[in-house]
């Protein structure tokens, strides 16, 4: 039986960061409780799921405070080479682009994701030196609450436009899109991360989208 390999390229919510009651909190859900692991469990045999979630990761921007290694465009090529051959890359980014320090609108965030899709499609990291398939997940809207509120100042309003901006991008470049906001919401603890139940719901929703992508 052929095994399909999936790379989940995301930020702290792919990493499994627990909602943060304070800025210095650093909890992480157990491996099995993170949405990529939940997805893997639903997909079962025949799939290998690789979770590459980095807290603070942006689509395409060097972070002046947290460092250049948070830039998704800087990291994706190495990860494609590390894990090839890949049948599918799932991009789940955009939340950290909404930090006040970047001053981006929803369309700018969608363009950052689009550039990642194009880079992956131009690669030879898929089976037999082809390009992997790509799927995009749009993050749910933010809340400006708790210790992260100032960091994401203005982001809650901007995040309300992500769904439409991502949908326009997905139609234009013909990439499958799952809108996480249709399934989950961010935690009331910090307004950015997902509670354990949301991790499970998202993992199940993404598994269903993957099965549809491969015609299962």
Domains of the chain, earliest start first: 4-213 (3.40.50.1110)
pLDDT for 2: 83
pTM over 0.75: yes
Query: Measured between alpha carbons, how far is 116 from 82 in angstroms, rounded to an integer?
Result: 17
- The pLDDT value recorded for residue 95 is 98
Query: How much is the average pLDDT of 167-190?
Result: 98
Give me the mean pLDDT over the 30-50 stretch. 97
The strand pairing partners of 92, in sequence order, are 10
pLDDT of residue 1: 63
pLDDT band at 187 (very low <50, low <70, confident <90, very high): very high
pLDDT of the residue at 154: 97
Average confidence (pLDDT) over 161-175: 98
Separation CA 82–CA 66 (nearest Å)? 24
Rounded average pLDDT over 145-167:
97
Its sign, for the CA torsion 208, 122, 138, 203, is: positive
Q: Give the count of beta carbons closer than 10 Å to the beta carbon of residue 29.
A: 18
Whose tokens are 């269903």? That residue is 208
């Amino acid at each position: 039986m052929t095994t399909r390999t999936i790379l989940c390229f995301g930020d702290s919510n792919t990493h499994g960061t627990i909602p943060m009651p304070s800025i210095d909190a650093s909890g992480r859900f157990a491996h099995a409780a993170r949405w990529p692991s939940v997805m893997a469990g639903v997909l079962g045999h025949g799939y290998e799921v690789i979770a590459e979630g980095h807290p603070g990761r942006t689509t395409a921007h060097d972070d002046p405070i947290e460092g250049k290694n948070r830039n998704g465009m800087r990291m994706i090529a190495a990860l494609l080479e590390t894990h090839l051959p890949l049948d599918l890359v799932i991009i789940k980014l955009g939340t950290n682009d909404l930090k006040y320090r970047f001053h981006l609108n929803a369309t700018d965030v969608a363009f950052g994701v689009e550039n990642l899709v194009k880079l992956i499609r131009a690669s030879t990291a898929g089976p037999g030196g082809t390009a992997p398939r790509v799927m995009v997940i749009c993050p749910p809207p933010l809340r400006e609450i708790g210790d992260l509120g100032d960091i994401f100042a203005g982001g809650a309003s901007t995040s309300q436009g992500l769904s439409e901006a991502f949908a326009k991008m997905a139609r234009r470049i013909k990439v499958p899109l799952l809108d996480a906001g249709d399934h989950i919401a961010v935690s009331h603890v910090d307004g950015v991360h997902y509670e354990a139940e949301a991790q499970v719901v998202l993992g199940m929703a993404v598994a269903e989208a993957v099965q549809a992508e491969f015609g299962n």
